[in-house]
Structures are given as structure tokens and as C-alpha cells.
Amino acid sequence: MNAPTSQPAVVTIFGAAGDLTKRKLMPALYNLFLDKQLPSHFLIIGVARRGDEQNFRDYIKEGMTEFSRRGAADPKKWAEFIQHVTYTVGDFTSPKTFTHLAEKIHKFEETNGQSSRIFYLSTPPAVFGLIADGLGAAGLASDKVNDRIVIEKPFGRDLESSEALNNELLKSFDEKQIYRIDHYLGKETVQNILAFRFANALYEPVWNRRYVDHVQITVSEDVGVEKRGGYYETSGALRDMVQNHLLQLLCMVAMEPLVSFDADEVRNKKVDVLKAVRPLGRMNPHDYSVRGQYGPGTKDGLAVPGYRQETGVDPKSTTETFVALKLYVDNWRWQDVPFYLRTGKRLSRKLSQIVIVFRPVPHLMFDANASESFEPNRLIINIQPDEGIILKFQAKEPGAGMRLSTVSMGFDYEGTFTSSSREAYETLLQEVISGDTTLFMRDDQERVAWNIVEPLLEAWASRPSNAFPNYSAGSWGPEAADMLLARDGRSWANPMLIPKS
């Protein structure tokens, strides 16, 4: 994590009238301002096709009340902050938009000195190339250190389109100027996996195929596709969640120890993991995967629609809203240890959790009656909610004889630290402003991640499911996902809550 930089900064948000600006970007920038993590001289420029400065100010203020972790903005602080915010209406196809932007930035720099210039593309991917070209033509991409472009996912929709997009960006920007966001990498608990693994001597010796039986990664959501039916129809859970967030979590668990905390060192080690993933194309991808789509069901006792009834969704849609996968990482550390991944919308509850299930002890000397169901050790990393880590182990029950039961040792963020966890976007924006690429996806990471999911995209496209919908909203997904593990004599871990300290 970088200390706040003193170099002035200009953050330009393209697509400023959109949802992301209101929900995430502006609350994150405001919170950084409150925490004195922004340079004293900064300017935020919203660019969108419509609206005016006053509308924009009202819009983002509303966003604070609804979405900031600190709730409604304090009027005095807000008045100070809003002085740094300006708005420009502009068409991304017009060179004038970019020359006008360049003038604003130069004017700011005349008074405040050379700034780092962050161009955040919170727009549909179709215009990423157009905006990058416009910036290049206006001379806003030529400073290879200070000009930075931030791209939201989806970064393409397959290997070919992601390469094409990359080539478009590379016409104006160098790779080092491109910050591809995967917001999971900004989450405190995801970063803590590195601290847990590499700042403690205790776990590394058992972090391998000799002691680990298998790993489970669950990212479940209880919401449906909400207002994003149109986008989701072109994406599905494999592109929306697996290609990025779940594979990144896999990397954090499986990567080798780092030599240093250098951006390229971290990313090289992750690429090594992704390259070692056994290609699904070499096997029958259907044997290693399960797809699902939610039908109508209930949430908190209320009826909720199925995916095909959502706004913007084809009533005969074959888009998957659930994916379960079994992957192998073919290297010395992980050979033949299965990594089970699952993610889905409208599941029973919101939960992002990694479970490391250790092998049973080689010989159980206790009486067969000592335990009703002996459970090998498990380490549970809760990414969200109930952020924390639990170790489950066996203990003797008090009383006569030797009876065993499973007990837990837990660390919870909330009970341990007084400061509240920052939002992922706060961390990520601060890192871009500091010019640190560690938490961002490099082009080769994107490519290998697409390589992993591509055989499945092809297999599913060539055989659309005729069983959809195959799970009810509010459930834990299709039965076939349970079968994927049951075939190996395993089952999904029950979601674990962190005991409060």
C-alpha cells in the first residue's frame, strides 16, 4: 500500500453520469479526501454526453448518502471537496471533447504544477478504443509516467476481442500506463491473503499437495442481475466473474512466495499459476464444469423472478447465472489437488469464501466412537461479509473418556481493528494516483485468464443447455454442482460465520 503522493492529480471520469461513478468512484474519492489520502492539489473532471455541472453535483451527492461507507456527506467537508469537482459535456467521437479536456488540465497544471493524469473509462467497452484514440490525439497519452488510463471490465469477451482491445489501447498508451481493474484485488481481505501466507512461518510448510486435500472458492450473490440484464445477456457468469475475480482468488491461494513486493514480481507469480492450470480443452470440459440459470424463487420470504423474467433478458435465454468448476494447477506444489470454484446470482446468501481443506491425519489412534463425524482441519478465509479467518480443528470434549469435536479459532476484522475496512475502489484509485500497478491486471494475465475459460465458452456455446432454469432463486445452485464434488467423495463446505471476538 502506498503512502499518499504529494504530486497534484487530475482524475477524469469518462461516463461520469453512469452508475459506477455514483456508487463507487465518487464515494471512494470523497473518502480518500476525508482520510487525507489525496494530494492537496487535485481536480476531478466528469465527462459525459449529457447533463450539466449542477446535475452532476446533485447526482454524486445523492450517491454519498446511498453508497458511501460513511453515509451522507458532512455539509462543510462536502463544500470543500466539491470545489475540486468539475463537469464537461462531450461527445467521445469529437476531437473537441479532448482538446477542451486538455485545456482544462493544462490550466490546472499552470497553477499547480505537473500532475498525474488519470483517465478513468467508466463507459461501455465499445468506446474504450475511441476514447484512447481521442486522448492520444490530444497529447494526453504521451507522458509515459504521468498519463494513465484505467479500464473497467469486461476486458473483451474472449481471447480474440481482448487482444483486439489491447491493440487499440497500445496505439496511444504503453502497457505500463494501462490499469485494468479487477476490484477484487482492492479488497482488504484479498490483500490479506498475501500477509497471511507470507508474513507467517506457520502455514507455508503445509501449503501444498502433501497436506492440502482440496480448495474451495465460493463467490455467491443473493441478488439477481438487477438492472443489468442487457449487459449480463452478453456476458454470463463465466465471463462476468470466473475469468477475473475467481481466477484472481485462485492465484492468491496458489501462487509461490514472492521475492519482493514489486508490481511485476507479484504479477509474474500470478501468471505462473494461471499458466499451470490444466487446460480444460485437453479434457471433456463438461466433466469439469456445471452451469446453471436461476428460476423463480423466494428471498426473505418474498417471491422473486427467474432470470428469464428479468428486464432486458430474452425469455428463452441460455445465459448461465451460475458456474461451478473443477480445476487443477499442474505444478510441484499443487499437482492433483482439485480447486473447486463456484459462483452464481440469486443464491442463498452473499458470500465470498475460500476454504482450504487439509488431508486427514495419516492414522487415527482414537476409538471409533471418539467422534461422530471426524472432520479434517479446515482454514476458512472470509473475503466478505464477516471478514476474517477461521481455523477449524479437533479438540477433546470435557468429561470422561476421549470424545472429539470440531472447534474453531477465529480472527475477525471488525473485532480486531478499530478502523473500518476501506472500499476496494478507495485502494485501487489511490494506487493509480500513486502510479503503482501491482493490484491491476497486466495484459498477459488477461490473456492467460481468457485461455483458461475459452474451451468452456466454446463448449457451452456449441451445446446450449436445454435444462435451464435449473436452480431456484434462494438455493445453493443446481444439484449438479453438488454432484461435481460428490463424484470425488467431497461436498461443499457449509458457509461459516466468523465467531466475533
Active site residues: 245
Q: Judged by CB, which is closer to ligand BG6: 423, or 454? A: 423
Which among 310, 314, 318 has a CA at the least distance from the CA of 226? 310
Q: How many residues does the chain have?
A: 501
What DSSP character marks residue 284? -
> Which C-beta is closer to ligand BG6: that of 190 or that of 255?
190
Q: Which of residues 109-168 bind ligand BG6 (CB under 6 A)?
A: none
Q: How far apart are CA 340 and CA 463, in angstroms?
A: 23
Q: Does residue 386 touch ligand BG6 according to CB under 6 A? A: no
DSSP string, 177-241: GEEE--GGGG-HHHHHHHHHHHS-TTTGGGSSTTTEEEEEEEEE-SS--TT-HHHHHTTHHIIII
Interface pattern 340-359 for ligand BG6 (x via CB under 6 A):
------------x-------
The SS3 call for residue 431 is helix
Q: How far is the CB of 355 from ligand BG6 (least distance, A)?
A: 17
Give the integer Cα–Cα distance in Å for 465 and 468: 6
Q: Is residue 200 within 8 Å of residue 391, measured between CB atoms?
A: no
C-alpha cell at 306: 427467474
Burial (CB < 10 A; 0-12, 13-18, 19+), residue 421, is middle
User: And the C-alpha cell for 486?
Assistant: 460428490
State which H helix or E strand residue 287 sits in: none
Nearest-CB residue to ligand BG6?
240
Nearer to ligand BG6, 239 or 270 (CB): 239
**Interacting positions 219-248 with ligand BG6 (CB under 6 A):** 221, 240
To ligand BG6, the closest distance from the beta carbon of 245 in angstroms equals 6
In order of 21, 27, 119, 187, 295, the CA distances from 420 in angstroms are 22, 15, 28, 12, 37
Q: Which amino acid is at 122?
A: S
The least distance separating ligand BG6 from the CB of residue 246, rounded to whole angstroms, comes to 11
Minimum CB–partner distance for residue 183 and ligand BG6 (Å):
6
What 3-state DSSP class applies to 338? strand
User: Smallest distance, Å, CB 464 to ligand BG6?
Assistant: 21
Residue 446 near residue 267, CB atoms below 8 Å: no
- Residue closer to ligand BG6 by CB (options 267, 346) is 346
Is the preceding peptide bond at 469 cis, omega within 30 degrees of 0? yes
Q: What's the min distance (Å) between Cβ of 282 and ligand BG6? A: 29
* Nearest residue (CB) to ligand BG6, 2 versus 234: 234
d(CA 402, CA 416): 34
Chain centroid, CA 278 distance in Å: 23
Distance CA 477, CA 343 (A): 9
User: Per-residue string for binding with ligand BG6, 17-56, x by CB under 6 A?
Assistant: ----------------------------------------
How near is the Cβ of 26 to ligand BG6 at its closest, in Å? 17
Q: Which is nearer to ligand BG6, 78 or 322 (CB)?
A: 322
Size of the site for ligand BG6 (CB under 6 A): 3
Cβ-based nearer residue to ligand BG6, 240 or 387:
240
Residues making contact with ligand BG6 (CB under 6 A): 221, 240, 352
